[in-house]
Amino acid sequence: MGVPLWRRAVAEFVGTGLLVAVVVGSGIMAARLSPDDVGLQLLENSTATALGLAVIILVVGPVSGAHLNPVVSLGEWWLGRRDGTGLTTRDVAAYVPAQVAGAIAGSVLANLMFDLPAVDWASTDRDRSHLWLGELVATAGLVLVVFALARSGRAAVAPAAVGGYIGAAYWFTSSTSFANPAVTVGRAFTDTFAGIAPGSVPGFVVVQLLGLVVGLSVLMVLYPRAEVGVDEAVVPQLSEGR
Amino acid sequence: MGVPLWRRAVAEFVGTGLLVAVVVGSGIMAARLSPDDVGLQLLENSTATALGLAVIILVVGPVSGAHLNPVVSLGEWWLGRRDGTGLTTRDVAAYVPAQVAGAIAGSVLANLMFDLPAVDWASTDRDRSHLWLGELVATAGLVLVVFALARSGRAAVAPAAVGGYIGAAYWFTSSTSFANPAVTVGRAFTDTFAGIAPGSVPGFVVVQLLGLVVGLSVLMVLYPRAEVGVDEAVVPQLSEGR
Amino acid sequence: MGVPLWRRAVAEFVGTGLLVAVVVGSGIMAARLSPDDVGLQLLENSTATALGLAVIILVVGPVSGAHLNPVVSLGEWWLGRRDGTGLTTRDVAAYVPAQVAGAIAGSVLANLMFDLPAVDWASTDRDRSHLWLGELVATAGLVLVVFALARSGRAAVAPAAVGGYIGAAYWFTSSTSFANPAVTVGRAFTDTFAGIAPGSVPGFVVVQLLGLVVGLSVLMVLYPRAEVGVDEAVVPQLSEGR
Amino acid sequence: MGVPLWRRAVAEFVGTGLLVAVVVGSGIMAARLSPDDVGLQLLENSTATALGLAVIILVVGPVSGAHLNPVVSLGEWWLGRRDGTGLTTRDVAAYVPAQVAGAIAGSVLANLMFDLPAVDWASTDRDRSHLWLGELVATAGLVLVVFALARSGRAAVAPAAVGGYIGAAYWFTSSTSFANPAVTVGRAFTDTFAGIAPGSVPGFVVVQLLGLVVGLSVLMVLYPRAEVGVDEAVVPQLSEGR
């Protein structure tokens, strides 16, 4: 028997919360300590995020699959409908709110660790069409990475691969690769390096969902079939009964 | 039965496209955000490229072998002629155009993500004999890494090894290690950090092909024989029939 | 039969000593060579620490488990009491003093390598409540990483995961993540980048112990049971009799 | 039957040559592109070296063991005398000259790639007692890493571990961790970032040999016995007859 849903939802809450704490916290530290070079700030922020994300996936992966991202949960649900495996609708209805709540909690935690108000709405406007293109590419790429590994039985390398992908995508996409609707919402709660103005959130979420569609489309061309029993993202779950 | 050729060509197109998008896009981001230190720009660019390349090899490897590079495809074809395995002439004739087309598409995509004209011919002249020596060393080293791993049955570490090699070669070769004729062509389409003037492309391609010969020569001294069944670069392909 | 306790204590002494030498030494080098940007200093310090810590865990792991940290030893002892495995009280009484002595020796060694007085009490005051929150989060996260991997039979990835975690935590926690009472004591012996004023040590140690409690609490929710025979942190020990 | 000695010597020549080309070449690039911050130069140099070294060990490991360092070859010979395995005296007499010749060739190659005179004696004096202490620690640590992994049957992680160790040791030792007599000689042939004045070479080599003794002494305490058949540094050699 699998891990009960409540425990998996807690894992998604904790994991997404830690992820946003890493993203926001390292952004604050970088902006404070390297005030003269924004590129250096982003390098510090991206390095911490790549390492932190890989470790978080290792930690919560066996419990919940370490989606940490509504786009991944939706993708797994859709692929599972085709193949008769994966997340149920009820699972998705628990995962996504847990991810969003975790992301907000992570942002608040980062603010408090750095002696800032618990909630401070971001003022960084990110409403530009070329940033949306960047965000679409970032999300499509993430979806492709996650499910290409799952479909070819290599979920064991997913923690390093997903961390590495985000570490690169911070740089090669113009939007610095949010690529995650829950994290995008969480990042509206902090007016710091990683913040996004609440008014820019809906546009980002829409293109992230488009990125999911594009990513799955490319996946279907490259990996039309899943190997038997391996279509689990991001990492295989522990069976509770062991 | 193996993956059909059309699907492998699509994988080479997508993979090479993403690679050039990473190289060019992270170069634009680095030059914009770290205007005062070219070394820091290169560190940001090389870090993003190393991580991105490793992930791309993981993603398309099981489909096409993740050559992403005409030099690698030619090397595999030549080694396969000796051993009775590897790419056929028909495969090469599909892989190389897919790689070049992908590289151009990746350059255009990066330009668009950063709000630049889709095509902007590069103006960076790279026609210097010591840069050619750098490029020859860079390509020979890449060929040695790829086929040494393939010949000793360790293709599973190729994604990290090839990414790490390029991350080092950006720094230790004077040419910043293009080491790839398709990527070189693609980088002529963007007048940004990673660009190369069209007039410098033929010289680079010629020394890259010389680097292939040098790399294979060293390989033949160190690894005169392939272990049975493992001479597949970069990663073993999925069998379609599984 | 297992490795004798005296040998395991030596391993903890050597390992913790090298860890503090890495933390303090790379901090001195960074502050000397990059005087104009504190963020760059921290990036240099965190990169060296992440790599060094991972390697040290590889080296002493098979001998002593590579705790290098009283919080980890106490956590293993407490988890072992519940499960009938793990460290005995006598083991803890040898490990913790060896870790503290090693940490002090490592600090002295770093001072000497950089031509400083062997002991120079740190003057950096770190007594602030938001730093304590950072330290609590840092330690709870470390405990969660170490024991989540141990409880799910993945101790083989612990060296990279623990190194990567600390590399991220230097950045996302406001305290730069000491997360280790022995290392905290050792860092009082050097008045350099990584130093902590002796008067700030007790506060840090108290919140680190609170972090242990928080980390174990989250662990019990996510991983209520250990898989049989795998509850060994950080890496499985060699049997002496092989 | 094993790989013939001449082929193993070629592998040591090629591997050590590439290593010095990486060390010297990335040092030149870093000093040219980041003229305002020596710490940033060292970060660029250490990152390239860590990645390059790991890849070189992967490439030549199955042929010669990837010692690339007389200290490692001597250590393996000494440990093999005790255990009846490892390098013979004749092997050592071929390996060490190949390593030194390779190191010189690598330095010359780096000079030429960057449009400098093929040989330019270094002027950087490194004759200071605290640098010798740093070098002793650096070499002892390297010896401990290499043989701890070999003695516990984990040579497969040696490429990443040795690369990561050097990446850290560039920072935590005051000498920036040469830790290799052959590489030290090679680095006298270039008057650039990584150079060492010929007059400082003998002092460094003496403390490196002392570091070998210290490293082996600690090894004997932590790992008094080798597991059967695994005492091969750095990576297991291919059998020629396969």
Nearest to B137 among D32, D59, D113 (CB): D113
| Pairwise CA distance, residues A147 & A127, whole Å | 29
User: Omega of the bond prior to A234 within 30 degrees of 0, cis?
Assistant: yes
Domain membership of residue A143 (yes or no) is yes
> What is the number of other CB atoms lying within 10 angstroms of the CB of residue D229?
9
Domain membership of residue B117 (yes or no) is yes
Q: Is the confidence at residue B230, as pLDDT, over 50?
A: no
Give the chain A residue whose CA is nearest to the CA of B30.
A39
User: Nearest CA to CA, how far is A108 from chain B (Å)?
Assistant: 28
The reply to whether residue D26 touches residue B172, judged by beta carbons under 8 angstroms, is yes
Nearest to D133 among C26, C49, C112 (CB): C112
Structure tokens given for A117: 């108000």
Give the three-state DSSP class for B230. coil
In this prediction, residue D225 carries a pLDDT of 86
Q: Is the confidence at residue C161, as pLDDT, over 90?
A: yes
Residues 6+ apart with CB under 8 A from C118: C108, C111, C112
Rounded to two decimals, what is the model's pTM? Answer: 0.95
Structure tokens given for A76: 């797994």
Nearest to A130 among B55, B59, B113 (CB): B113
Give pLDDT tens digits for C42-98.
999 999 999 999 999 999 999 999 999 999 999 999 999 866 778 999 999 999 999
Q: Is the confidence at residue C140, as pLDDT, over 50?
A: yes
Contact between A171 and A38 under an 8 Å Cβ cutoff? The reply is: no
The reply to whether residue A242 touches residue C227, judged by beta carbons under 8 angstroms, is yes
What is the Cα C225 distance to its own chain's centre? 25
Give the three-state DSSP class for B209. helix
Domain membership of residue A103 (yes or no) is yes
Nearest to C171 among A10, A29, A55 (CB): A29
Give the three-state DSSP class for A7. helix
The reply to whether residue B218 touches residue D109, judged by beta carbons under 8 angstroms, is no
The reply to whether residue D148 touches residue C59, judged by beta carbons under 8 angstroms, is yes
Domain membership of residue B167 (yes or no) is yes
In this prediction, residue A230 carries a pLDDT of 42
| Pairwise CA distance, residues A109 & A111, whole Å | 5
Residues 6+ apart with CB under 8 A from C93: none
Chains that touch C (3 or more CB pairs under 8 A): A, D
Give the chain A residue whose CA is nearest to the CA of C176.
A29
Looking up residue B218, the CATH number of its domain turns out to be: 1.20.1080.10
Contact between C138 and C178 under an 8 Å Cβ cutoff? The reply is: yes
Q: Which residue would you say has higher pLDDT here, B228 or D132? A: D132
- Which of D:93-112 have CB within 8 Å of B? 109-110, 112
Closest CA to B141 of C71, D110, A149: D110
| Pairwise CA distance, residues B5 & D179, whole Å | 49
Give pLDDT tens digits for A181-196.
999 999 999 999 999 9
Nearest to A25 among C42, C46, C171 (CB): C171
Q: Which residues of B touch A134 (CB under 8 A)?
A: 113
Nearest to C109 among D50, D137, D169 (CB): D137
In this prediction, residue C227 carries a pLDDT of 66
Nearest to C222 among A10, A30, A32 (CB): A10
> What is the number of other CB atoms lying within 10 angstroms of the CB of residue B50?
26
Q: Which residues of D touch B155 (CB under 8 A)?
A: none
User: Nearest CA to CA, how far is A235 from chain C (Å)?
Assistant: 12
The reply to whether residue D149 touches residue C59, judged by beta carbons under 8 angstroms, is yes
- Phi and psi torsions of D85, nearest 5°: -135, -170
Q: Is the confidence at residue B142, as pLDDT, over 80?
A: yes
Structure tokens given for C22: 């890495």
The reply to whether residue D41 touches residue B38, judged by beta carbons under 8 angstroms, is no
Partner B contacted by D3 (CB < 8 A): no
Partner B contacted by D62 (CB < 8 A): yes
Give pLDDT tens digits for A124-174.
999 999 999 999 999 999 999 999 999 999 999 999 999 999 999 999 999
DSSP D189-205: G--STT---GGGHHHHH
The reply to whether residue A51 touches residue C165, judged by beta carbons under 8 angstroms, is yes
Q: Is the confidence at residue C208, as pLDDT, over 50?
A: yes
In this prediction, residue D241 carries a pLDDT of 36
| Pairwise CA distance, residues B86 & B81, whole Å | 7
Partner C contacted by D43 (CB < 8 A): yes
**Could you list the residue range(s) of the whole structural domain that residue C127 is in?**
5-222
Q: Which residues of A touch C139 (CB under 8 A)?
A: none
Partner A contacted by B63 (CB < 8 A): yes
Amino acid in the structure at residue B17: G
Token pair 């040579």 is found at: D155
Residue-wise pLDDT tens for chain D (242 aa)? 489 999 999 999 999 999 999 999 999 999 999 999 999 999 999 999 999 999 999 999 999 999 999 999 999 999 998 667 789 999 999 999 999 999 999 999 999 999 999 999 999 999 999 999 999 999 999 999 999 999 999 999 999 999 999 999 999 999 999 999 999 999 999 999 999 999 999 999 999 999 999 999 999 999 998 764 444 445 444 444 33
| Pairwise CA distance, residues C134 & A114, whole Å | 8
Partner C contacted by D170 (CB < 8 A): yes
Residues 6+ apart with CB under 8 A from C189: C104, C107, C108, C111, C119, C120, C121, C122
| Pairwise CA distance, residues C13 & C103, whole Å | 8
Give the number of domains in chain C.
1
Give the chain B residue whose CA is nearest to the CA of A226.
B242
The reply to whether residue C128 touches residue A109, judged by beta carbons under 8 angstroms, is no
In this prediction, residue C238 carries a pLDDT of 47
Q: What is the mean pLDDT of chain C?
A: 93
The reply to whether residue D172 touches residue C52, judged by beta carbons under 8 angstroms, is yes
Domain membership of residue B205 (yes or no) is yes
Confidence tier at B81 by pLDDT (50, 70, 90): confident
Q: Which residues of D touch B135 (CB under 8 A)?
A: none
| Pairwise CA distance, residues D136 & A50, whole Å | 34
| Pairwise CA distance, residues A125 & A200, whole Å | 6
Token pair 């792991």 is found at: C61
In this prediction, residue A152 carries a pLDDT of 94
In this prediction, residue A227 carries a pLDDT of 66
Give pLDDT tens digits for B4-41.
999 999 999 999 999 999 999 999 999 999 999 999 99
DSSP state of B236: P
Contact between D184 and D196 under an 8 Å Cβ cutoff? The reply is: yes
Confidence tier at B84 by pLDDT (50, 70, 90): confident
- Phi and psi torsions of C190, nearest 5°: -140, 125
Give the chain C residue whose CA is nearest to the CA of D134.
C113
| Pairwise CA distance, residues C28 & C26, whole Å | 5
The percentage of residues in chain A with a pLDDT greater than 70, rounded to a whole number, is: 92
In this prediction, residue D133 carries a pLDDT of 98
The reply to whether residue A42 touches residue B60, judged by beta carbons under 8 angstroms, is no
Q: Which residue would you say has higher pLDDT here, A228 or B158? A: B158
In this prediction, residue A197 carries a pLDDT of 97
> B223 — alpha (psi -120 to 50), left (phi > 0) or beta?
beta
Q: Is the confidence at residue C187, as pLDDT, over 70?
A: yes
Contact between A52 and A135 under an 8 Å Cβ cutoff? The reply is: no
Measured in Å, how far apart are chain A's first and last C-alpha atoms? Answer: 9
Give pLDDT tens digits for D46-95.
999 999 999 999 999 999 999 999 999 999 999 998 667 789 999 999 99
The reply to whether residue B50 touches residue D51, judged by beta carbons under 8 angstroms, is yes
Domain membership of residue A238 (yes or no) is no
The reply to whether residue B62 touches residue A152, judged by beta carbons under 8 angstroms, is yes
Partner D contacted by C51 (CB < 8 A): yes
Closest CA to A68 of A37, A106, A39: A106
| Pairwise CA distance, residues C59 & B46, whole Å | 30
Domain membership of residue B231 (yes or no) is no
Q: Is the confidence at residue C225, as pLDDT, over 60?
A: yes
Domain membership of residue D100 (yes or no) is yes
The reply to whether residue B133 touches residue D110, judged by beta carbons under 8 angstroms, is no
